[in-house]
Structure 1
Amino acid sequence: MSTAATSIRSPLAMAWQRRGRAFAQFCREFSHERAGMVGLVFLLVIVVLALLAPLLAPASMLDVTQVIDNPRFAPPSWEHPLGTDHQGRELWVRMLWGARVSLLVGFAATAMSMILGTIVGLAAGHFRGWAGGALMRVIDFFLVLPSLILAIVLASVLSRGVWTIVIAIGLTSWAGTARVVRAQTLSVEARDYVERSRVLGAGHGHIIVKHLLPAVLPLVLANTTLTVGSAIIAESTLSFLGLGDTTQQSWGAVLKNSMDVSAATSGYWWYVVVPGLAIVLVVLAFTLVGRAVETIVNPTLRSR
């Protein structure tokens, strides 16, 4: 009995061992990507600061009634590191709390987009005939449809809130991932081991889960890191247009407030530069990490 159990467990143990070695190899290769490491360290710092926001800057510091004595539109100084806004609130406090919402929307919308894109892409590449053709037409429709306009429509129709923005971004940004996954699926489908599984009687579920999904996951991972930056930009855009949750702090909401008080033309440059620069740096960091991951998982780029 023990021998039989060992023989059953050993393939699983070997599979996990291979995955562990592959992950260790990936980490070693990623550590040699200087740009990717810079982006990763910067993102880790931002995430830690966002998680520690309630400790570093209590929510009471966002209460307008608690900062009556603070000067409005105070420029950056030792007393006010990033300046104050039109209500006397410290800008660095709003940026810390805004990072929580912006990163949450970025990660959640990207997860939704990746899941939808992976499922539809796998199905479109694996199933042939009318089913695959119909899924491909759906992908093409969402690719040619302006995603920002559709996100604005969804955010306007649904009740305002953080999760409304997540749904709006997730439902409009999955088509690109689906196209990439479908192309990779078609390539894997033509390999010998998939043909052998099909000849031996393997069903659609076995082929998709055991062969196709592991083959497309590296590309999905690389695309995920790139999509997070786009999701953060989309969230900032929707908040800037006034479609976000007005009760929550976000970097787009800070930009919207600066526009409402004409900060750019009134000389309150810090009110515009600080949130704008934060968005640019975080998106750039995600792009650096994504390009590094793509270089590692894509043999063509790695050979170059």
Structure 2
Amino acid sequence: MRAAVRSGLVAAATALVGAVAAAPPGDRAWTAAPAAGRPYAYLEGPAGSVLQDTLSVTNPGAGPLTVRLAGEGAPVAFAARTVTVPARTRADVPFAVTVTADTPPGDHRGTVRATAAGRELSVELLLRVSGPRLAALTVEDVSVDEAAGTLRYTLVNRGTTVLAPTLAVRAEGLLGTVLDRPERTLPLTLRPGERTTRTEPWPDPPALDSVTVRLTAGAPGAAPATARTEAAFASGPALAGAAGLLLAAAGGGAYGIRYRYGTRRRGGPRTQRASTGATS
């Protein structure tokens, strides 16, 4: 199937590149764009299919232009990897994207790159694989770096569509809440199957506490996902202060015991002697 598609692309490329369309003269730089003036290339089909489109390369210059073509982020096959475009003409170059059988349904992105005369142009490629759409997100590997004052976590897109994640953070200590950040949208998107590890600043953690940290991640259409971790904070000054309080408390208790014990000893003999004297 792929051989037949490749053969068809080569034949189409020969015909289309040979039958170039006239372009207006001028000193403009060469351009590369999807055919029919679209802002990006859009392909849609089921997993296991081969989808085709066309890239238009326009050369407004006075001499021929040799352009090298490449795909990125998607399995793109061109009818010709190198195309020479005559002066003041346009060449339409067919290309195909193979959607493998294990490609999950949903939106996928790629790039078609054209390079010539020390300049590179990129054309965005949007691929929609048909099938049931599922939004699913997990938050994993949560940890606390007490020394750096940061939270570390990993977000994973477990669904079949592009996600814009949100995050909420809450930490509970022995005496109550020590960190509470409401849900906010993160400055990133995750493609299906994509994962990213991020950090969350925590510049003012408690000096002395045992804390449970909970991170809740969400996305439009996805159920919230929560992960937790435990952390113990014990800074040097806090430990020294706690030790001083314990010593003070222990010393005060011992003094009270000695004082009460000594009073009983002194009072005991005097009471006994007075009682003996009165009897005599």
> TM tier, shorter chain?
under 0.3
Q: TM-score, normalised by structure 2?
A: 0.19
Name whichever structure is richer in strand by fraction: 2
Q: Higher relative contact order at CA 8 Å, sep ≥6: structure 1 or structure 2?
A: 1
Name whichever structure is richer in helix by fraction: 1
